[in-house]
Amino acid sequence: MKTKLLNSFILFLFLFFINGLTAQYFTENNIYYQITSSTAPLKVKVMNPNGTSGGGYTGDITIPSTVSNGGNTYIVTEIGYRAFYACAGLTSVTIPNSVTFFNSEAFSNCTGLTSVSIPNSVTSIWDWAFYKCSGLTTITIPDSVTFIGDYAFSASGLSSISIPNSFTSIGRGIFRYCTGLTSVSIPNSVTSIGNEAFNGCTELTSISIPDSVTSIGNLAFYNCNKLTSFTSLATTPPSLGSNVFYGTWQKNCALFVPENSKTAYAAASQWNGFKNVNTYLSTTETKNNLLKVYPNPAKDYVVISNISKGENISVYDLSGKILFQTKSIGNSVNINTSAYKNGIYLVKVGENTTKIMVSK
């Protein structure tokens, strides 16, 4: 009799445990959720119905800010670990303002993903979050994001990226093997660039490092073989890890540094490996907005910095003909002047205008 009672009690506990686990997960409108808080405010995170093995979502997904289950309403606050992992048929995801956190590998290996909206509520994007999202060519990271984990966009299809002003550090391998990346905007808030940050970004042709950067990690620009222009605005050469500029590109790349710093860069280990380490930065500043223009005179390109994100930028010849127009994605823009004839040109940034000279 005692044995039967004991077995019945064990069965009751087992069923209670299983039911408790089941109650922690539910599906609503084909999206799988896990309850993360059962006390007010009630919260859930988006999960993968197939667990960590991935797959399970296809097409266009719109995640709601709240979801109801069992008579309760939950706030969706997180994209869980591997929530969309290896969902090759997933094409777009719209994320609500209630979400604050992308967990590790959240969209990793979503090769068909072309669009993700990151709302201003998101503060953290963890390791490998968009790894191998080869169809993702552009993404807007809001200023609310203060942390991006290691290798977050590694091997993705990004062609351009503007790093938000909230950032102080570019982490390990964030853009490693982004072989389609051609444009990067780094704000003045960044003080360090981590190991392998741009390792294997084989389509980058120019990059500008703000004067706030004091250190660059190991292999940060490993095999960036198309770089022909490298600008460092820091008056003191940033400290370097090992093999920062590894590859054949450095000897064919011009280095631009502040005018009074060329001796320091020419003497600094690794920095002195640039083809034109003695080429110095010539800065033209307008009285009203302190636009920085370099090199000036220009030959094949000119960089305009100290601009605001979203500014309209135009280049005119002296007859008033528009030669180039774009909208800035960050605080600097690189303009190709290789086809321009020798002479003076006007650059208009927003309501402000400055001059550049092309001399070949």
Give the model's confidence band at 15: pLDDT under 50 very low, under 70 low, under 90 confident, else very high: very low
| Residue 94 shares a structural domain with residue 136 | yes
pTM here is 0.77
If asked whether residues 17 and 155 sit together in one domain, one would say yes
350 has a pLDDT exceeding 60: yes
Q: Which of 281, 310, 334 is the last residue of a domain?
A: 281
Give the span between the Cα atoms of 237 and 239, in whole angstroms: 6
Which of 235, 260, 281 is the last residue in one of the domains? 281
* pLDDT of res. 17: 41
Map tokens 């969209």 to a residue. Answer: 107
pLDDT tens-digit map of 197-236: 999 999 998 888 888 999 999 999 999 999 988 888 899 9
Mean pLDDT of the chain: 87
197 and 104 part of one domain: yes
The residue range of the domain holding 339 is 292-358
**Domain count for the chain:** 2
Stretch 316-322: mean pLDDT: 79
Return the closest-CA partner of residue 311 out of 351, 354, 264, 271: 351
Task: Tell whether 287 is covered by a domain.
Answer: no
Q: Is residue 308 part of a domain?
A: yes
Predicted local confidence at residue 151, as pLDDT: 98
- In this predicted structure, the answer to whether residue 282 has a pLDDT above a threshold of 70 is no
Decide if 286 is inside a domain: no
DSSP-based three-state secondary structure for 268: coil
| Claim to verify: residue 200 and residue 320 sit in the same structural domain | no
- pLDDT at position 278 is 59
Q: Are residues 89 and 228 in the same domain?
A: yes
Distance CA 136, CA 121 (A): 21
- Same-domain status, 146 and 16: yes
Note the pLDDT tens digit of each residue in 121-166: 999 999 999 999 999 999 999 999 999 999 999 999 999 888 888 8
Give the confidence band of 358 by pLDDT, cuts at 50, 70, 90.
Answer: confident
301, 268: one domain: no
Local confidence band at 45 (pLDDT 50, 70, 90 cut-offs): very high
Given this model, what pLDDT does residue 290 score? 65
